[in-house]
Structures are given as C-alpha cells and as structure tokens.
C-alpha cells in the first residue's frame, strides 16, 4: 500500500469528497494505535454497526430525505440509482449487501476515490426505508458513447499494475487491492476513456 493511500484510509490525507466518508469510517472504529496502524471496528456485526450509524445520523443531522424518486434510473442487488436534479450527477442508495461490514464499505469508497477521482463518491448522508438502512452517495453521471472493450480494459488495468484474477476480477499486489465485477455496465467508455462507476473493492488481508 502506498503512503498516500494509507494516509487516506487513516484520515491524514485525501480530497474533499472523502471527508464525511472518513469521518463516518472512524466513527465506527475503536481508534488507531500510536503507530497509526488501522484497527478493525469494535462492532462485531452489521446490525451493531447500523445501530451506531443510526445514532450518528441522528446526532449530526445526516438523514437524507431528498431522494429523487421520480428520477429513478435502475438498480442492482446492492443499490438503487436516481438521476440528480442537476442532471450532472446520480444519487445512489446502497445497503452494503456485498460487504461483510459497513466499515469495509466505507473503505471501498475511499479506495474508489483514490483510484478513480473522475467518478469520485460523495457521501450525502443516510436513508432508511422498510427497515433497510442505506448510505446515500452522489457520483458524477457518465454517459456511455461506445461499448466497453473488456480486452482493452484488461490491458489498461495490467498496464497500471493490476493482475487478472478471474472473470472480471483483478488485484493489485503492491496496493493490496482487489477490484471485482468490472464488467461493461460497471466500467463505461466515453470518447475512448474508461470511467469506473461501480465495482466491489476490497483490501487484501493476510
């Protein structure tokens, strides 16, 4: 892992879009040792995390109620997507079904913003519907101008230090990062450039 990425995950560096993400992440953690080593959260399951995040959202007025229901675009297993009223961004509500913990989800957002700043996530707050707890994030809306060539995408990733794992999954041995589900709906192409709008991102643990 690079020093820059470590600083972002430890809250000592980053860009504006990461601020609330970092704040929320560290609210879930016990803290850090004097050496700066990242510690896992004291919360042993996602139900405990949700209880804590619910308190966090109420205490700091982070409940987000402006979901543009009339601008629904689509959904996947883990999130629903809406077009923001400005037409330049999308609003996503995510229940983190692909992650073992909410902590892992917030780490994935920070890594995404580090790797792909042109599609960076901004955490807007939290939303609850039918007893399901969601994070609400905003991301630039990317319009595809051409189909994504998965062979060209693989070459692009390999040229940037990633190694192919299987199917549409890759890992970066030096950064200690796994990228999964990089199919042509999650990586769009606009004017010959790749835009990573959605993927499952994990830190490699040993």
pLDDT tens sequence across 122-162: 999 999 999 999 999 999 999 999 999 999 999 999 999 99
146 DSSP assignment: B
Q: Which of 97, 195, 180, 183 is nearest to 142 (CA)?
A: 195
194 DSSP assignment: E
**CA-based R_g, the chain, Å:** 17
Residue 130: CA count within 13 A, CB half-sphere: 1
**Domain spans of the chain, in order of start:** 3-140, 150-203
Q: Which of 98, 82, 9 is nearest to 46 (CA)?
A: 98
Report pTM: 0.87
Structure token digits, residue 11: 């809250």
Please state, rounded to an integer, the average pLDDT across all residues of the chain: 87
pLDDT tens-place string over residues 52-89: 999 999 999 999 999 999 999 998 878 999 999 999 99
- Give the pLDDT confidence score for residue 101 in this predicted structure: 92
């Amino acid at each position: 892992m690079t020093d820059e990425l470590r600083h972002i995950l430890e809250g000592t560096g980053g860009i504006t879009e990461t601020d609330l993400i970092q704040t929320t992440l560290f609210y879930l953690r016990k803290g850090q040792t004097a050496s700066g080593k990242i510690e896992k959260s004291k919360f042993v399951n996602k139900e405990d995390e949700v209880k804590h995040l619910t308190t966090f959202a109420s205490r700091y007025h982070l409940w987000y109620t402006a979901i543009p229901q009339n601008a629904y675009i689509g959904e996947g297993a883990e999130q629903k997507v809406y077009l923001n009223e400005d037409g330049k961004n999308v609003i996503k509500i995510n229940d983190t079904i692909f992650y073992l913990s909410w902590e892992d989800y917030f780490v994935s957002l920070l890594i995404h913003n580090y790797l792909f700043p042109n599609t960076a996530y901004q955490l807007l707050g939290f939303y609850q519907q039918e007893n399901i707890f969601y994070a609400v994030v905003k991301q630039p809306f990317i319009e595809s101008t051409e189909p994504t060539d998965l062979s060209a995408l693989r070459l692009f990733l390999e040229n940037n230090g990633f190694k192919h794992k299987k199917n549409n999954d890759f890992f970066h041995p030096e950064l200690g990062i796994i990228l999964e589900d990089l199919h042509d709906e999650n990586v769009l192409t606009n004017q010959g450039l790749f835009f990573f709008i959605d993927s499952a991102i994990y830190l490699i643990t040993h």
